[in-house]
Structure 1
Amino acid sequence: MSVLRSAAFAIPGDIETLTGGYIYERRLLMGLRDQGRNVTHLQLPASFPDPSAAEMTDAVAQLQGIDAERVLILDGLVFGAIETHGLAGVRAPIVAMIHHPLALETGLDPSTRDHLFRTERDNLRLARHVLVPSPHTRDTLVHRYDVDPARITIARPGIDRPHFTPVADKPPLILSVGILHPRKGHDILIEALSRLDDLDWRAVIVGNPWHRAHADDLARMVKQTGLGDRLRLAGRVSAEELQGLYASASIFALATRFEGYGIVFDEAISHGLPIVSTKAGAVPDTVPPGAGLLVPPDDVEAFADALRTLLSKAGDRDRMAQAASKAAQALPGWKDTAAIAGIVIDSL
C-alpha cells in the first residue's frame, strides 16, 4: 500500500468565511484528511492580498518554516500577493491554488493591477503545480501568465446533494447568492428588478457583506427602488435558511462581472433552477447549455429582458429547469475534488 504524501494548506484568515473560495478550500482540506492524509492547516494573516509589512514578514516566515517533505498548497489570495523573493526561500514544493488571478479583480487601480499581475506571474514560475477550479482559469494562466498547461490541473468544485424537497413559492422567487462585492453585480440585478415592477415576483439577495461600503450602497439602492418587501437584501444567512431559499426559488440570478468558477451556479443547478447570469469569466463553461440565459456583463437592459422572459414564459422556465436537473446528475462530489488534488500531491 502506497504512503500518502503529507501536506500543509496555507489559507488567510478564518477558514469558515462564507465565500465560494473559502468553501472550496475548507472542503478540499477536509477531503484530503478524509483520505487518511496528514494535512496541516496554516492560518495566515486575513489581510491578504493587501498585508502590512509586518504581516508579510510573518507569512513568509511561516511558509519558509514548512518541512521540505510536505507539499505546500497555497491559497491564491496569498500566492498572488506574497513577495517573490520570500516565496523563493520556501523549501516545500509549492502547489498554487488559483481561483482567479488577483489582477482580474473588479475595481483595481492601474498601478495595483500591474503590481498584482507581475507578482503573480513571477510567483507562478516558482510553483511546482497549479490547481484551478475551471478550464477558464487554466486558459487564463496559460495565455496571460505563460504557465505551462502540463503544470495545471483542474479540480472542479464538488456539491452536496440537496436535502430539501423543492416547492416553488408563489409569486415566483428570484434568488441571488454571492458576496456583497462589486464583482458580483448585485447593483445590476437591483436595477434590472426595478424595471420589472409590472410583473408578479419577489427576490432575495443572499451574501456575506464582504465589501462594507458596497453593501451600504446596495442597501440604499434597494430602498430607492420603492419595491418594498418584494426585494430583500438578506446579507448572511444560515446554511439551513439558504437551502430553504434554494428549494422555494423559481429562478437563480447573478449579474456577475467575473467568475473564476462560481460554486453557486452548481448549487442552483443541483436544485434544478433555471439561471440568468452573464457571459463573464467561467460562467459559460459552468452553466450547462439550455439551463439558463446568459447576457453581456454590465448590461442592465439585457439582464432585465432575460428575467422578464423566464417570469413571463413558464414553458421556457420549465424546460431550463429540466435541463438543470439533468446536468446536476453529472456534477462531482467533494470526494471527487479531493481525489484529483491528492493525485497531484502524490505526483510531486
Structure 2
Amino acid sequence: MSLGAFAIPGDLNLPTGGYGYDRAMLAALPELELVHLTDLGLDPDNAALERAARELAGTGPIVIDGLALGVLPAALLNSLNRPIIALCHHPLGLETGLAPDQATRLMESERAALSACAAVITTSERTGQILRTQFDVNDPVVIEPGIALRPVAARGNTPPTLLTLASFTPRKGHDVLLGALERVADLPWQAVWAGAEPDEAWLNRIEEVIAASGLGARITRRGPVSDKARDEMLAGADLFVLPTHYEGYGMVFAEAMMAGLPILACAGGAVPDVVPGAAGHIVEPGDVVALGDRLRALLTSQDQATRMAAAARAHALTLPSWSDQAALFAATIKRIAQ
C-alpha cells in the first residue's frame, strides 16, 4: 500500500546532505513514491511552474522537498487539492551570498508556501526554531537525520590528511579554510576537498585563490564523488575540517564523527548542536585566525587529536539510525493522511 509521494527537484544523486537525507528516507520507505520534479531554480518562470503543477498532480499526501517548495506559489499548492507536507532542510532565503532583495523575496515566497502545507518537517531543532520565529510555522516536526555505522579511520597518514566534503558554494567557507591553511603552511599536511560544483563563478574564484596561495600542490580538489568514494575518503582521513557559515543540520559532521575523525568547524546554524565540544574545535563563522590556531593545535598535538577522535566516535554511536528516523517520517505522513 502506498504511503504517499515524495517530490524532489533536480538530481537526487547529487552528493549533498539534503539529497542524502532524501535518498535515505526513500531507501527506508519503499512504499513512498518518488516524484521527480524538474529543477525549478530560485526564480521559476510561468512555464516551469505549470510543469511543476503537472508533475505534482495526484491524490493522497505528498512531501515536497524545500528546494522546490520554497519557490512554489501558495495558490499553486492549494490548487493541488491534496495534503502537502513540507520538508525544510534549510530556508532558501538564508543561503550565504544572496543579494538582499533576492533573500527577502525568497523568505516571503517560502513563508507563503509553508502556510499552504498541512505539516512541516525539518531536520534540526535549530531550523525548527527559525521556522517558528521567522516563517510563522507553529508546530514543525523535527526529524533529524539518521546515521549508519562505518569503519573507524586509521588516522596514520604522513603527512596528515585534512578532509573537506562539501559543495563548492560560498556558504561552505572554502575561502575561510584556505586562509587557515595558509596560517599553517609551515606544518606538514595534505588536504582533500570534494563536493558538488553548482556555482561555476564561485568555483573559479576558489581555484584562483588556491593558485595565488602557492598551496595548490598540497590541495587535491575533486568534484562530486560516489558514496563508495566518500566512504573511502572518510576512512583514509586524519581530520575533518569544514568552516561552513551555516548548516540546517550538517549530516557530514555526523558521518565524520562516526569515522572517528576529530572535527574542526564553525558555529554556523546547527553545527554546535551536532558536534559536541569534546569531539573537536568550533570557532565563529569566518574567523580565519581562530580556525588556523585550532588547526595548528590539532596538527601539533597527537594526544589532543586522539582524544577528540575517540569522543567523536563515541558520540556518533549515540545518534539515531535511519530506520528510527524513517519511522517518524512515515508516522507524520500517516497522521496527515487521516
Question: Shared fold (TM-score greater than 0.5)?
Answer: yes
**Structure 1 counterpart of 2:110, from 120, 127, 132:** 120
In structure 1, the residue matched to 2:289 is: 301
The alpha-carbon deviation at position 284 of structure 1 amounts to 0.6
The alpha-carbon deviation at position 51 of structure 1 amounts to 2.1
What amino acid is the match of 1:186? H
**Structure 2 counterpart of 1:153, from 141, 159, 162:** 141
Kindly indicate whether the alpha-carbon contact (under 8 Å) linking 1:188 and 1:298 is maintained by their aligned counterparts in 2. yes
SS at match of 1:259: coil
In structure 1, the residue matched to 2:195 is: 207
The alpha-carbon deviation at position 247 of structure 1 amounts to 1.4
In structure 2, the residue matched to 1:46 is: 39
**Structure 2 counterpart of 1:194, from 173, 182, 186:** 182
The alpha-carbon deviation at position 48 of structure 1 amounts to 2.8
Distance 1:53 1:158 in 2: 37
In structure 2, the residue matched to 1:62 is: 55
Kindly indicate whether the alpha-carbon contact (under 8 Å) linking 1:98 and 1:131 is maintained by their aligned counterparts in 2. yes
For each residue in 1:128-173, what CA deviation from the matched residue of structure 2 results, as whole angstroms up to 9, or x when unmatched? 1111111111011011112112xx2111112222147634312111
- Which aligned runs of 4 or more in structure 1 are off by greater than 3 angstroms? none
What amino acid is the match of 1:9? F
The alpha-carbon deviation at position 286 of structure 1 amounts to 0.8
The alpha-carbon deviation at position 277 of structure 1 amounts to 0.5
In structure 1, the residue matched to 2:100 is: 110
Distance 1:266 1:164 in 2: 13
Structure 1 gaps, min length 5: none
Higher alpha-carbon deviation: 99-108 or 162-171 = 162-171
Does 1:144 find its partner at 2:134?
A: yes
In structure 2, the residue matched to 1:86 is: 76
Describe the shift of the 1:292–1:156 C-alpha distance in structure 2 as closer, same or farther (beyond 3 A). same
Does 1:7 find its partner at 2:38?
A: no
SS at match of 1:290: helix
Distance 2:153 2:289 in 1: 34
**Structure 2 counterpart of 1:73, from 63, 69, 76:** 63
The alpha-carbon deviation at position 242 of structure 1 amounts to 2.2
SS at match of 2:320: coil
Aligned residues: 336
Distance 2:209 2:103 in 1: 28
Higher alpha-carbon deviation: 170-179 or 47-56 = 47-56
Distance 1:262 1:52 in 2: 31
Structure 1 vs Structure 2: percent identity of aligned residues? 38
In structure 1, the residue matched to 2:226 is: 238
The alpha-carbon deviation at position 28 of structure 1 amounts to 0.8
Kindly indicate whether the alpha-carbon contact (under 8 Å) linking 1:166 and 1:271 is maintained by their aligned counterparts in 2. no
Kindly indicate whether the alpha-carbon contact (under 8 Å) linking 1:187 and 1:218 is maintained by their aligned counterparts in 2. yes
Kindly indicate whether the alpha-carbon contact (under 8 Å) linking 1:274 and 1:324 is maintained by their aligned counterparts in 2. yes
Scaled by the length of structure 1, what TM-score is found?
0.93
Kindly indicate whether the alpha-carbon contact (under 8 Å) linking 2:246 and 2:269 is maintained by their aligned counterparts in 1. yes
SS at match of 2:79: coil
For each residue in 1:211-248, what CA deviation from the matched residue of structure 2 results, as whole angstroms up to 9, or x when unmatched? 11111111122222112422121222333332222112
SS at match of 1:43: strand
Structure 2 gaps, min length 5: none
Scaled by the length of structure 2, what TM-score is found?
0.95
For each residue in 1:36-81, what CA deviation from the matched residue of structure 2 results, as whole angstroms up to 9, or x when unmatched? x2x2211112133332321111112332x211xx211001011111
SS at match of 1:324: helix
In structure 1, the residue matched to 2:313 is: 325
Distance 1:264 1:198 in 2: 28
Describe the shift of the 1:238–1:16 C-alpha distance in structure 2 as closer, same or farther (beyond 3 A). closer
Higher alpha-carbon deviation: 11-20 or 93-102 = 11-20
Does 1:131 find its partner at 2:121?
A: yes
Distance 2:192 2:81 in 1: 48
Does 1:101 find its partner at 2:98?
A: no
For each residue in 1:176-234, what CA deviation from the matched residue of structure 2 results, as whole angstroms up to 9, or x when unmatched? 11001111001110121011111111111111112111111111222221124221212
